[in-house]
C-alpha cells in the first residue's frame, strides 16, 4: 500500500508540473504564432514570456482542483479507548478583545468535557499584547474564565514582556519553558473555534501514528456578515474542500501548516522548529513572518510527517469583513512569503518543501506579471514601427484587432475560462450529482451563488491585483510592514474611508485607460474589465463591506449552525451581561 501511495504521489506531482508547463507553453506558442503575421519584435517576445509564466501559475491551481475532484480522503488510523497522552490548547493573542476570545476557550472546554476526556486537555493563553489597558482586560476576563469553567490548574495565562518573534516566538517560548509537560499542542488563532470531538479525533490520530509531527485541519469560515465576508465564506465552504483535497494528495507527508487549527507533537516541534533570525534588516531579514510553512518544512526535513486531514469537520475561523482588512493581512503574508527566498535553498529540505516555498513566492509576484503584460501592451507602440490597422467606413472608422491582439484574446480565454472558471464549474457539477449542494440551499441556489461569486470576484480581482502589487513593491523597496493587529467587528466602510484607502488605485486605473486611448485604442475594449473596477475601487470596497441581505451564499454552517458556534455566541451574550 505504501508503494502504491508513493507511486500515486509521484504521478500526481509530475502531472501537475507537466500540466503547468504545457499550459504555459501553449499560451506562449499561441501568442507568438498569431503575432507572426505582422512581424515579431522584442515586446511580443516579452509579452509571450509573461503569458507563459502567468498561464503556468493558473494551471498549477487548476490542476489541484482537478486532482481534488478525482480523489478521496483516505481513512486515517486513530487510537481507541482511554487517552494515554496530555494535550495543551494554545491561544496566542495580540491586542484582541479578551471577552470574545476567551469565550471561545470556554465553549471549547465545555465541548471537550462533554466527550468524557476533558481531563487530558489544558489551555494556555499566550499574550503578546502591548497595550497595558488591554492587558488589564485580559487578566479580568481570564479570572472570569477560571471562575466560569472551574479552570484552576488547567487554564493558564501568561503575558510576555518582550514580544520578540511575534506569534512564532510566543509559541516557541511556551514550548521551551512548559512544553515538556505535554505530548501534543493544538495551536489556535484568536478567532479559531474547534469542536471538542474534532480536537479529540486529532489527538487520537496523533496517538495512533508515532511518526506524525503535525496534522492540519481545513477551517471553515463562520459568522460572516458583510457582502465581501459572505462571498469569502461561501467560496471557502463550496470550493476550498476540493482544492484542499488536491493539495493534501499532492503534498503527501510534506503537507502544509497554516499556523492555526492544527495539532503538533510537542517533542517533534521542539527538536525541529527553532526558527532562525534571517540576516539583514526587515523586510527580507529579521524574524520570519510566514513561520508556519517554514515550521512544516523543518518537521518534514527531520523525518516527521506533516499531513492535511481535509476530511475532519468541526474546525472554524472568522475572516475579514472588507477588502481593506483583507489587504492589510495579505501585506504581512506577502512579506513573509517573499522572505522564503532566503530559506528555499536551506540544506536538507525536502524538494517538495522547496516547491511549496516557490509557489508561495509566485503567489505574490504573479500579479506583477499580469500588470507588466498590460503595461507593455499599452506602451509597446511607442517604440514600434507598426501602426494599428483601421477599417474605413463612410461615417466612422474602427480598429481591426491585429493578430497579436487575437492571440491575447485566445490566451485570456484559455487562462481565465479554462483554468479559473472550469474547475469551479466542475466542482458545482460534482456537488450537484453527489447531493452536496443540499447544504448550500439546493442545486439551483448553489449554481446561482457560484455564478454571482464568479462575477463579484472578477470585479474585485483588479483591486486585489493592485493591493498585492503595492505590497510586493513595498517589500522590494525595503519597507517593513510589521505585524499589525487584526481588525474585528462588522468592518463596514463608508465612501470616505474607502476613498482614502484606494484613491491611488482609482487614479492608476484612470491613467491607464487614458494612456490606452491615445497610444493603443484597439486595446481599450480589452482593458475595460480591468480599468473600470480600478476606477470604481472606492465604490466596490464600500459596497462589499456593507451587511449582506441576499438569499444567496447559503452555507451548511448557516443551514445548521454548529453547536460549538451556537455555544460561543451564548457564552458571549452571558459574559456581556456579566460585564
What digits encode the pLDDT tens for the residues 331-365?
Answer: 999 999 999 999 999 999 999 999 999 999 999 99
411 confidence band (pLDDT: 50, 70, 90): low
394 confidence band (pLDDT: 50, 70, 90): very low
pLDDT above 70: residue 397: no
- Give the domain range for residue 418: 2-70+363-385+398-548
387 confidence band (pLDDT: 50, 70, 90): very low
Q: Please tell me whether residues 132 and 52 are part of one structural domain.
A: no
Q: Please tell me whether residues 305 and 432 are part of one structural domain.
A: no
Q: Please tell me whether residues 28 and 103 are part of one structural domain.
A: no
Q: Please tell me whether residues 65 and 99 are part of one structural domain.
A: no
DSSP one-letter string for 84-122: -S-EEEEEEESS--HHHHHHHHHHHHHHHHHTT-GGGEE
Pull the grid cell for residue 331. Answer: 501585506
CATH of the domain at 252: 3.90.550.10
pTM over 0.85: yes
What digits encode the pLDDT tens for the residues 422-453?
Answer: 899 999 999 999 999 999 999 999 999 999 99
Angle between the 227-238 and 422-434 helix axes, to the nearest 10 degrees? 70
- In this prediction, residue 2 carries a pLDDT of 63
Q: Please tell me whether residues 430 and 475 are part of one structural domain.
A: yes
Residue 414 domain flag: yes
Name the strand (E) or helix (H) holding 425. helix 422-434
**Average pLDDT value over all residues in the chain:** 89
First-residue to last-residue Cα distance in the chain: 57
116 confidence band (pLDDT: 50, 70, 90): very high
Q: Please tell me whether residues 422 and 519 are part of one structural domain.
A: yes
Residue 558 domain flag: no
Q: Please tell me whether residues 38 and 120 are part of one structural domain.
A: no
- Residue at grid coordinates 486595446: 523
Residue 565 domain flag: no
Q: Do 177 and 299 form a contact (C-beta atoms < 8 A)?
A: no
* Burial label, 427 (beta-carbon count in 10 A; 0-12, 13-18, 19+): buried
382 confidence band (pLDDT: 50, 70, 90): low
HSE at residue 157, side-chain half, CA atoms within 13 A, is 20
Q: Which residue(s) pair with 226 in the sheet?
A: 547
Three-state DSSP class for 490? coil
Q: Do 361 and 294 form a contact (C-beta atoms < 8 A)?
A: no
Q: Please tell me whether residues 129 and 208 are part of one structural domain.
A: yes
Three-state DSSP class for 412? helix
- Which of 447, 211, 491 minimizes the C-alpha distance to 327? 491
Q: Please tell me whether residues 218 and 279 are part of one structural domain.
A: yes
316: phi then psi, degrees, rounded to nearest 5: -135, 160
When divided into structural domains, the chain yields a total of 2
23 confidence band (pLDDT: 50, 70, 90): confident
Q: Do 527 and 374 form a contact (C-beta atoms < 8 A)?
A: yes
pLDDT above 60: residue 402: no
Amino acid at each position: 500500500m505504501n508503494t502504491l501511495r508513493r507511486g500515486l504521489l509521484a504521478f500526481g506531482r509530475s502531472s501537475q508540473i507537466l500540466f503547468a508547463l504545457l499550459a504555459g507553453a501553449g499560451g506562449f506558442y499561441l501568442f507568438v504564432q498569431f503575432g507572426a503575421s505582422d512581424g515579431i519584435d522584442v515586446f511580443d517576445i516579452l509579452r509571450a514570456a509573461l503569458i507563459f509564466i502567468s498561464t503556468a501559475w493558473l494551471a498549477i491551481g487548476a490542476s489541484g482542483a482537478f486532482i481534488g475532484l478525482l480523489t478521496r480522503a483516505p481513512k486515517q488510523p486513530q487510537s481507541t479507548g482511554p487517552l494515554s497522552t496530555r494535550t495543551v490548547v494554545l491561544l496566542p493573542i495580540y491586542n484582541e478583545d479578551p471577552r470574545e476570545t476567551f469565550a471561545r476557550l470556554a465553549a471549547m472546554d465545555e465541548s471537550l468535557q462533554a466527550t468524557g476526556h476533558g481531563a487530558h486537555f489544558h489551555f494556555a493563553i499566550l499574550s503578546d499584547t502591548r497595550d497595558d489597558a488591554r492587558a488589564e482586560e485580559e487578566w479580568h476576563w481570564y479570572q472570569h474564565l477560571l471562575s466560569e469553567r472551574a479552570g484552576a490548574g488547567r487554564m493558564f495565562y501568561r503575558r510576555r514582556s518582550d514580544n520578540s518573534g511575534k506569534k512564532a516566538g510566543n509559541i516557541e517560548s511556551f514550548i521551551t519553558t512548559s512544553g515538556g509537560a505535554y505530548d501534543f499542542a493544538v495551536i489556535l488563532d484568536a478567532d479559531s473555534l474547534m469542536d471538542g470531538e474534532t480536537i479529540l479525533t486529532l489527538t487520537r490520530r496523533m496517538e495512533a501514528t508515532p511518526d506524525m509531527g503535525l496534522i492540519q485541519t481545513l477551517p471553515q469560515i463562520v459568522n460572516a456578515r458583510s457582502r465581501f465576508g459572505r462571498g469569502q465564506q461561501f467560496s471557502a465552504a463550496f470550493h476550498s474542500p476540493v482544492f484542499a483535497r488536491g493539495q493534501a494528495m499532492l503534498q503527501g507527508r510534506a503537507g502544509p501548516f497554516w499556523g492555526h487549527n492544527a495539532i503538533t507533537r510537542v517533542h517533534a516541534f521542539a527538536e525541529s522548529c527553532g526558527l532562525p533570525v534571517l540576516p539583514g534588516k526587515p523586510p527580507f531579514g529579521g524574524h520570519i513572518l510566514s513561520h508556519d510553512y517554514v515550521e512544516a518544512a523543518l518537521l518534514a526535513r527531520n523525518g516527521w510527517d506533516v499531513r492535511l486531514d481535509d476530511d475532519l469537520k468541526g474546525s472554524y475561523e472568522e475572516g475579514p469583513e472588507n477588502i481593506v482588512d483583507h489587504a492589510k493581512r495579505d501585506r504581512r503574508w506577502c512579506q513573509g512569503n517573499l522572505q522564503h527566498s532566503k530559506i528555499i535553498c536551506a540544506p536538507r529540505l525536502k524538494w517538495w518543501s522547496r516547491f511549496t516555498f516557490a509557489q508561495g513566492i509566485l503567489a505574490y509576484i504573479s500579479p506583477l506579471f499580469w500588470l507588466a503584460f498590460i503595461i507593455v501592451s499599452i506602451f509597446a507602440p511607442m517604440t514600434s514601427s507598426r501602426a494599428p490597422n483601421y477599417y474605413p467606413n463612410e461615417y466612422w472608422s474602427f480598429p481591426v484587432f491585429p493578430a497579436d491582439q487575437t492571440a491575447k484574446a485566445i490566451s485570456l480565454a484559455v487562462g481565465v475560462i479554462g483554468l479559473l472558471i472550469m474547475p469551479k464549474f466542475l466542482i458545482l457539477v460534482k456537488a450537484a450529482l453527489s447531493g452536496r449542494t443540499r447544504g448550500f440551499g439546493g442545486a439551483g441556489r448553489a449554481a446561482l451563488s457560484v455564478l454571482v461569486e464568479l462575477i463579484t470576484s472578477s470585479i474585485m480581482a483588479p483591486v486585489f491585483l493592485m493591493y498585492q502589487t503595492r505590497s510586493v513593491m513595498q517589500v522590494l523597496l525595503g519597507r517593513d510592514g510589521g505585524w499589525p493587529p487584526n481588525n474585528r467587528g462588522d468592518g463596514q466602510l463608508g465612501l470616505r474611508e474607502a476613498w482614502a484607502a484606494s484613491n491611488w488605485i482609482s487614479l492608476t486605473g484612470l491613467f491607464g485607460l487614458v494612456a490606452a486611448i491615445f497610444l493603443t485604442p484597439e486595446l481599450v475594449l480589452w482593458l475595460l474589465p480591468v480599468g473600470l473596477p480600478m476606477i470604481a475601487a472606492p465604490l466596490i470596497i464600500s459596497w462589499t463591506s456593507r451587511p449582506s441581505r441576499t438569499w444567496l451564499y447559503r452555507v451548511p454552517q448557516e443551514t445548521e449552525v454548529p453547536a460549538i458556534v451556537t455555544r460561543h455566541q451564548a457564552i458571549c451574550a452571558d459574559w456581556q451581561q456579566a460585564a
